Amino acid sequence: MKSIQFVFAIILVLTAGLQAREKPNVIVVMADDIGFECYSAFGSEFYQTPNIDKLAATGAKLTQAYSQPICTPSRVRIMTGRYNFRNYTQFGELDLAQPTFASMVKANGYATAIAGKWQLSAGDLGGPGTAGFDEYCLWHFSRGGSTGHLPEIFRNKGSRYKSPTLFRNGTLVSDTAGKYGPDMVSDFICDFIERRKDEPFVVYYPMILVHNPFDPTPDSRDWEQKDASREPLEHFREMVHYMDKVVGKIVGKLDAVGVREDTLIMVTGDNGTNRSLTSPFPSRGSIQGGKGTMKDAGNRIAFVANWPGQIQSGTVVDLPVGFSDVLPTIADVTGSEVPAECDGQSFLPLLRGDTGQARGWLFQSYSKNGPGKAPYRCFVRNAEWKLYANGALFNVPNDWLEETPIMGAQGKSARRQLQPILDRILQDVPPELIDRRPMNSASKR
């Protein structure tokens, strides 16, 4: 009898392992403050990103991918799959009542982890758990501006780089002196992958890199003592290279534990590059960072997806995708149920070369500090044309700085296509929350 029970137990273990492998893993990597112009896979000759280049070459490169113009709005949108006007409350805050892609897959039997930059529940160390993450290692449980009401431990967000202030699963990490924040959080991810390799998992890595301050990395010649005479762009360039190195580290871990072919990896950024930086870029001469603006340099970001055996090498997707589309794509991959209120559409078919059901357009609503501070600036766009709620129309490939609105017959066809889409979506927005001011009188876009 005991031998029969033993054999039955072995069968259960093997079956459980098979079922886990039938549920693919997903890793979402989102760098901080880096536009498309900073990746060699997307045309840069100034920055080198060989690990991300390899993921693009052996997987898919999405050339028309768009975030929100700044960090918190992007983080809320990518996690919930909803337009900002529906659920964005204020800077530095996620409405924890909202379903996220973490809570979605957790309900489907997945293990979940997040590591890197949080910024979404000031003073609340339980926030990541409420958002659906089983484990975390995070920086930034503080809040900008007035912090007097917060406990002492949260009044200063602390360093994100050398000797970082990190919280791991509700506890302040004590042994960080002299260590590098990006190394510590990526080590946490690698450890999670090692421990959870026999069950399905989703990992979210909202990176600390490459946000200012522009400081040395452990690979910089001035790591021990920052050389203040060096230009910020020099340190930023080294930070971009280190960002790519960390991505390679995580891919290497997946290979080492034998789950690489079972894992979809998506690599992107949360908004455009810091506006203090100007980077050489062959097709445009140079690009000034556009963080905080709704122009091409502010919200067009690199996006790479790689999944061996599922995404063909050299795939290029030239149709628009946005952060609302990430959640339903994860649902598609993991077999999870999409929350009832989701504005996105899975782009998994696009990654597999099927454009038959492609949406072909993208909508954005943006207010940095939420609707209580300023109305939403809104636009709808396709790969070429961009139409704002105030009627301004731009042909972006030929006017990526948006200096010359298209008038009259030249843009008639584009308006005919985009205006009904914009009107339909804006029906859900209270009129007073829509910014329809002329471009020259509106605040920074």
* Residue 18 binned pLDDT confidence (cut-offs 50, 70, 90): very low
Number of helices and strands in the chain (H, E): 12, 19
* Residue 10, pLDDT score: 43
User: What is the strand order of the sheet 315-317 is part of?
Assistant: 171-172, 167-168, 135-139, 111-117, 201-206, 25-31, 263-269, 303-306, 60-62, 315-317
Q: Name the DSSP letter for residue 352.
A: T
HEC profile for 6-25? HHHHHHHHHHHHHHHHCCCE
C-alpha 251/C-alpha 197 separation (Å) is 13
pTM for the structure as a whole: 0.93
| Segment 69-112, tens digit of pLDDT | 999 999 999 999 999 999 999 999 999 999 999 999 999 999 99
* Residue 371, pLDDT score: 87
Do 323 and 285 form a contact (C-beta atoms < 8 A)? Answer: no
- Least Cα distance to 402 among 314, 301, 294 occurs for 294
Percent of the chain with pLDDT over 70: 93
Residue 430 pLDDT > 50: yes
Packing angle, helices 232-257 and 50-57, rounded to 10: 50
Distance spanning both ends of the chain, measured CA to CA: 73
- Give the residue-averaged pLDDT of 26-53: 98
Taking the CA atoms of 83, 84, 85 and 88 in sequence, report the sign of the dihedral they define: positive
Q: Name the DSSP letter for residue 41.
A: G
C-alpha 317/C-alpha 444 separation (Å) is 30
All residues at 6 or more sequence positions from 427 whose CB lies less than 8 Å from its CB, including other chains: none
Please give the domain boundaries of the chain with CATH numbers for all domains: 24-360 (3.40.720.10), 375-433 (no CATH)
Residue where the block lists tokens 């204020």: 90
Do 291 and 69 form a contact (C-beta atoms < 8 A)? Answer: yes
Residue 20 pLDDT > 70: no
